[in-house]
Amino acid sequence: MKVKFGDVVNRVNIKVDRHHTDRIYYVGGEHIESNELMIHDKGLIKGSTIGYKFHFGFNPRHILFMSRNPHLRKCSMVNFSGVCSDSTYVVETKDDSVLLQDYLLFEMQSDRFWKWAEEHKSGGVNYLINYATLSSYEFFLPSLSVQRELSKKLWAAYRLKESYKKLLLATRDMVKSQFIEMFKGTYPTEKWEQCLTITNGKKYKGEYQSSGLFPICGSAGVMGYGDCKLCNKDTIILGRKGNINSPIYMDKDYWVVDTAFSLDVDKDKLNPVYFFFWCKLFDFTKYNKQGVLPSLTKSDLLTIEMPLPPMELQRQFVALYRQADKSEFELKKSIKAINAVIKSLLNN
């Protein structure tokens, strides 16, 4: 049967004084991942500077729906208590003998729901769905037995995906730990000006394409593609402005724009992979020029001193990293396949 959202779903209205509550967590838009069934991130209320609008309570198994910018597809279930803002709708089924809470979540994660939300958003710069509009959404409600069966399959797939994600994180942590262990000794040092070349990024003059011969990259990664290259593969991108503390390894030729640098090491002294991991552990914010927008200068970077371990030791680490990278590739493939299964079930 077909039902209206407002007929089978409640908007939970738990008013909370965030200054006098035993709830210790808050959830903002930054804590909710797009297309994610569960909320994994949260902030601590104590000591935070969260705004006055964080005064709506939620409990475990409530669903939080971000009403602003529905194209971001932020709607997830929580497994803890906390507070959120008035732009986040806290919802639950009115009667679980008619609509299961799990099935409500899956309906709100479906492509049909998000397509409807896009078509019914209002506002200018900050688009939103008001609750009266959301209440008018109509969807097909299957029998409880079908709801239970779909919920069972979806949660099984989700739990499997989460286990693969944990393995992925464990693999990355292992590589990082191994790097620290292998290179904890004292080695000769050199300034960057003696062991690498820094290339300034340049504005790309052509049009950005969705595909092409060479990635066009900034401090946050690939922005598009083009037919010209500026930098060689096996070099590192480091942000010049904004995102200055997140180096990126590039294994193919590319163009780097003027918000970033390209770092090309002397391969007789440094293996590019070793250098990349060293950069990941280095705090580049020490060289921030303290402007409104964080920034680095080429002259400051060239004064950085770094250790030069024996090349054989660097190669040993790279071999370990390559093996871990193969494991990561297989895990990512598995996660992608499970996501396809979840998407298929959600849009059945």
Note the pLDDT tens digit of each residue in 113-153. 999 999 999 877 778 899 999 999 999 999 999 999 999 99
Q: What would the mean pLDDT of 20-49 be, rounded to a whole number?
A: 86
DSSP secondary structure string for all residues of 193-212: HHHEEEEE-----S--BSS-
Note the pLDDT tens digit of each residue in 253-278. 999 999 999 999 999 999 999 999 99
Assigned CATH for 2-141: 3.90.220.20
**pLDDT score, position 205:** 87
pLDDT band with cut points at 50, 70 and 90 for residue 51: low
**pLDDT score, position 22:** 82
For residue 132, give the amino acid letter: A
Q: What would the mean pLDDT of 228-233 be, rounded to a whole number?
A: 94
Q: Residue 306 pLDDT > 60, yes or no? A: yes
Q: Residue 192 pLDDT > 80, yes or no? A: yes
Expressed in angstroms, the distance from the first to the final Cα of the chain is 16
Q: Residue 86 pLDDT > 60, yes or no? A: yes
**pLDDT score, position 290:** 67
Q: Do domains 2-141 and 143-187+309-348 have the same CATH topology?
A: no
Report the C-alpha gap between 348 and 175 in whole angstroms: 40
Q: Which of 157, 159, 28, 145 is nearest to 82 (CA)?
A: 28
- pTM surpassing 0.85? no
Tokens of 22: 């035993």
Helix (H, G, I), strand (E, B) or coil at 181: helix
Q: Tell whether the torsion through CA atoms of 243, 245, 249 and 252 is positive or negative.
A: positive
Q: Are 277 and 260 in contact (CB under 8 A)?
A: no
Share of the chain above pLDDT 90, in %: 70
What CATH class has 143-187+309-348? Answer: mainly alpha
Q: What would the mean pLDDT of 194-216 be, rounded to a whole number?
A: 91
Note the pLDDT tens digit of each residue in 169-179. 999 899 999 99
CATH superfamily of 188-308: DNA methylase specificity domains (3.90.220.20)
Strands 75-77 and 63-66: antiparallel
Instruction: Please state, rounded to an integer, the average pLDDT across all residues of the chain.
Output: 91
Q: Residue 52 pLDDT > 60, yes or no? A: no
Q: Which residues pair with 58 in a beta bridge?
A: 82
pLDDT band with cut points at 50, 70 and 90 for residue 189: very high
**pLDDT score, position 347:** 80
Report domain extents, the chain: 2-141, 143-187+309-348, 188-308
